[in-house]
């Protein structure tokens, strides 16, 4: 079956702009996770959802970052007033239930110029 998909695969934006990154999880997976990964580092947790609600958003670095999952499926990570330090690969993962193995998407490479 289809895996986790993320769009766009690459996004280049100017400092100060707003961006949205989309994640389509595996059908039926109730848990959805967002991470970001900088070069040479492991994935850094941002937020995870159980269904439509954010179960834990403690990893969001500041209030410029926000994520939604209105229908319990597709999720969008929103970044306002982007900064060069936001440049990274943003990874999305889903799992059948919290605690079970996570299935990762290919990521969106965000570059802020």
Partner 1 sequence: LAKTTQPISMDSYEGQEVNITCSHNNIATNDYITWYQQFPSQGPRFIIQGYKTKVTNEVASLFIPADRKSSTLSLPRVSLSDTAVYYCLVGDFYSGGGADGLTFGKGTHLIIQP
Q: Return phi, psi of residue 86, to 5°.
A: -80, -10
The DSSP H or E segment spanning 13 is strand 10-13
Task: Tell me which residues in 40-99 interact with partner 1 (CB under 8 A).
Answer: 40-45, 48, 55-56, 58-59, 91, 93, 98-99
Contact between 5 and partner 1 by CB under 8 A: the answer reads no
SS (H, E, C) 56-73: ECCCCCCCCEEEECCCCC
In the complex, minimum distance from the CB of residue 90 to partner 1, in angstroms, rounded to a whole number: 10
Residues that bind partner 1 (CB under 8 A): 4, 33, 35, 40-45, 48, 55-56, 58-59, 91, 93, 98-107
């Amino acid at each position: 079956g289809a895996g986790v998909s993320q769009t766009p695969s690459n996004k280049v934006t100017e400092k100060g702009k707003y961006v949205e990154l989309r994640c389509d999880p595996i059908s039926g997976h109730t848990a959805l996770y967002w991470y970001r990964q900088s070069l040479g580092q492991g994935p850094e947790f941002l937020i995870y959802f159980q269904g439509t609600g954010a179960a834990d958003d403690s990893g969001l670095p500041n209030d410029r970052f926000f994520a939604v999952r209105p229908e319990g499926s597709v999720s969008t990570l929103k970044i306002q007033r982007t900064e060069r330090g936001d440049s990274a690969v943003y990874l999305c993962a889903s799992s059948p239930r919290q605690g079970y193995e996570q299935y990762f998407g290919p990521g969106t490479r965000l570059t802020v110029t």
